[in-house]
């Protein structure tokens, strides 16, 4: 016992300088905020370059400013910054031919050359734009915007935005759930999917109505995607009236020319997400949960046959969790 006590004492004495040294240099909140936030990596179509975002804390402005960078995937290659200024730039997405990068800055979608030159603003809508997705032919960019569901055009949305900004009344009157999520009100606007020419112009709304598409706080990385021929778009929507108590999320398809949408997973009351077309255009793959109201349900990999309209579970019985 005496030998054990002596051994412990020797260890404590030996490590005491290390403990003291560690205590003299604490990891402060200031040091934490100096850590650069790297995210949203996107590999170019040819597999040779990587675009990504880095966020740095601007202490004077009390906010994080994000910019887009690109680097060759070869070993030891130099990282190049593509955007600059006080406004954040995020969400880099390569065009199918790898010559352009779409991104979000100032609440709008822009396009630049792969080397950062020739920056052009694509969207100019009052309610803002985010989540750019290129069509396979490179002619279109899909995106989302939080709009007023009763509006059918940009002029109406702009007027609503101006009225809200000028109004001295900031109270909220609602008759539905979900009306608030954490610190964000969800009782006035709805998220809708639009497409616009990659060269700019007027945006076309593909999901009009009093609902969110994709659903609010969707869990997947892919909320909407184009068919290989760029003529159709698959997206997510919760068809239930009371969204606050529902985990239902269905996959819909709609022509990029507009028109009526089709629910291709109407039989399932659980959650679907991440719809993506196969390269041959014959199927749509997506994830699915079978049990309604069960957020922790097992994910299933499903395949929708565009010819027959039937959905089949792939890897049946395999626990993807």
- The answer on pLDDT for 140 being more than 50 is yes
Contact 205, 196 (CB under 8 A): no
d(CA 195, CA 145): 11
Q: What distance in Å separates the CA atoms of residue 109 and residue 155, rounded to the nearest whole number? A: 19
Which pLDDT tens digit goes with each residue over 277-316? 999 999 999 999 999 989 889 999 999 999 999 999 999 8
**Residue 317 confidence (pLDDT):** 79
pLDDT of 234 > 90? The answer is yes
* 76 has a pLDDT exceeding 80: no
Residue 14 reports pLDDT greater than 70? no
First-to-final CA distance of the chain: 50
pLDDT band for position 98 (50/70/90)?
very high
Q: What is the pTM of this model?
A: 0.88
Alpha carbon separation from 309 to 149, 203, 229, 303 (Å, rounded) = 30, 30, 19, 10
Q: What span, in angstroms and rounded, lies between the C-alpha atoms of 122 and 201?
A: 7
Torsion of CA 21, 27, 28, 31, to 10 degrees: 120
For 172-190, write each residue's pLDDT tens digit.
Answer: 888 888 888 778 888 899 9
By C-alpha distance, which of 65, 122, 53, 56 is closest to 92? Answer: 53
Average pLDDT over every residue of 59-72: 94
- Dihedral sign, Cα of residue 291, residue 293, residue 294, residue 300: positive
User: H or E stretch including 311?
Assistant: strand 311-314
Residue 169 has pLDDT above 80, yes or no: yes
Q: For residues 127 and 271, give the distance between their C-alpha atoms in angstroms, rounded to a whole number.
A: 28
- For residue 299, give the DSSP letter: P
- Coil, strand or helix: which one is 127? coil
Residue 60: how many CA atoms within 13 Å on its side-chain side? 1
pLDDT higher than threshold 50 for residue 148: yes
Query: Coil, strand, or helix at residue 89?
Result: strand
Comparison of pLDDT for 151 and 29, the residue scoring more: 151
Percent of the chain residues topping a pLDDT of 70: 90
92 in Cβ contact with 52 (< 8 Å): yes
Structure confidence at residue 77 as a pLDDT band (50, 70, 90): confident
**Report for 68-77, 250-259, 291-300: range of highest mean pLDDT:** 250-259
What is the Cα–Cα distance from 90 to 56, expressed in whole angstroms?
A: 12
What are 249's strand-pairing partners? 271
Give CA separation, 211 vs 193, 216, 316, in Å: 11, 10, 32
pLDDT (average), residues 137-163: 97
- Distances in whole angstroms, Cα of residue 245 to Cα of each of 32, 62, 178: 38, 36, 9
Mean pLDDT for all residues in the chain: 90
**Residue 276 and residue 302: Cα distance in Å, rounded?**
11
pLDDT at 4 over 70: no
Q: What is the pLDDT of residue 178?
A: 81
pLDDT at 13: 46
- Average pLDDT, stretch 130-152? 97
Whole-number pLDDT of residue 261: 98
Tokens 């880099």 belong to 92
- What pLDDT score was predicted for residue 218? 57
Q: Is the pLDDT of residue 194 over 60?
A: yes
Q: Pick from 253, 282, 247: which is nearest to 265 by CA?
A: 253
pLDDT tens per residue across span 198-220:
999 999 999 999 999 999 765 45
The per-residue pLDDT for 217 is 66
- Asked whether residue 158 carries a pLDDT value surpassing 50, the answer given is yes
CB 302 within 8 A of CB 318: no
């Amino acid at each position: 016992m005496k030998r054990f006590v002596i051994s412990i004492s020797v260890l404590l004495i030996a490590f005491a300088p290390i403990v003291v040294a560690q205590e003299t240099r604490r990891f402060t909140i200031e040091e934490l905020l100096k850590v650069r936030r790297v995210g949203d990596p996107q590999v170019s179509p040819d597999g040779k370059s990587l675009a990504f975002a880095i966020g740095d804390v601007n202490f004077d402005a009390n906010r994080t400013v994000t910019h887009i960078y690109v680097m060759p995937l070869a070993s030891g290659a130099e990282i190049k910054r593509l955007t600059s200024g006080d406004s954040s730039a995020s969400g880099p997405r390569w065009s199918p031919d790898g010559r352009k990068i779409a991104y979000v800055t100032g609440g709008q979608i822009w396009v630049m050359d792969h080397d950062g030159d020739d920056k052009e603003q694509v969207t100019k809508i009052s309610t803002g734009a985010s989540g750019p997705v290129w069509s396979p032919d490179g002619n279109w960019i899909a995106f989302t915007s939080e709009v007023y569901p009763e509006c059918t055009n940009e002029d109406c949305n702009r007027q609503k935005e101006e009225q809200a900004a000028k109004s001295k009344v900031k109270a909220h009157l609602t008759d539905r759930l979900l009306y608030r999520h954490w610190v964000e009100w969800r009782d006035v606007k709805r998220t809708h999917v639009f497409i616009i020419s990659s060269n700019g112009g007027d945006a076309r709304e593909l999901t009009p109505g009093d609902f969110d598409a994709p659903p609010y706080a969707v869990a997947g990385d892919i909320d909407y995607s184009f068919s290989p021929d760029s003529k159709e778009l698959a997206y997510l929507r919760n068809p239930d009236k009371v969204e606050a108590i529902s985990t239902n999320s269905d996959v819909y398809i709609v022509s990029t020319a507009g028109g009526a949408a089709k629910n291709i997973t109407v039989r399932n009351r659980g959650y679907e997400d991440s719809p993506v077309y196969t390269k041959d255009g014959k199927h749509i793959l997506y994830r699915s949960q079978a049990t309604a109201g069960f957020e922790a349900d097992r994910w299933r990999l499903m395949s929708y046959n565009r010819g027959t309209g039937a959905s089949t579970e792939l890897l049946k019985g395999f626990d993807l969790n």
